[in-house]
Amino acid sequence: MLNMSQEVLSGQLGVTFQQVQKYEKGLNRISASRLFELAQALRVPVGYFYDGLDEADGVARANGSGDGMQDNPPVSPLMEFMSSGAGVELNQAFLRIDDDKMRRRLLAMVNDIARVTGAPKN
């Protein structure tokens, strides 16, 4: 759809194009962090990869139903936020800031706001 070759995509992900082929064919699993990187490279939200998946089926798979895994694995608030639309948007915007000093200043400001208005760190 984007007219992007596997070589270009592999370069953006930092893997070989053979690895991209394995992901595409389903021969290798894609970790959550790699899925996030893939979504960024393709400029789509992570949820794009789940479009058309029946919600009940997706919940059953995510919870490990039928495969001997725990039925209700805990999801950390961090991972819940990171996979949300706002979390993805915030991370994408932050990554577009090229100035390291500006990134540090922004992070310090957010930490100050959180300290003043939020719950204490864990």
What value does the mean pLDDT of the chain take? 79
Which DSSP state fits 121? P
Higher pLDDT, 1 or 38: 38
Per DSSP, the three-state class of 61 is helix
Structure tokens at 117: 């208005």
pLDDT recorded at residue 56:
52
pTM above 0.75, yes or no: no
The pLDDT of residue 22 is above 60: yes
| Cα–Cα separations (whole angstroms), residue 49 to 17, 108, 110 | 20, 33, 30
- Over residues 60-108, the pLDDT tens digits come to 555 555 444 445 556 667 777 777 788 888 888 888 899 989 999 998 9
> In angstroms, rounded to a whole number, what is the distance separating the alpha carbons of residues 106 and 110?
6
pLDDT recorded at residue 75:
62
Check: CB of residue 39 under 8 Å from CB of residue 48.
yes
| Cα–Cα separations (whole angstroms), residue 90 to 58, 71, 101, 107 | 25, 31, 18, 12
Structure tokens at 105: 């200043």
pLDDT recorded at residue 121:
61
Of 64, 60, 13, the C-alpha closest to 36 is: 13
The pair phi, psi for residue 46, each rounded to 5°, is -55, -35
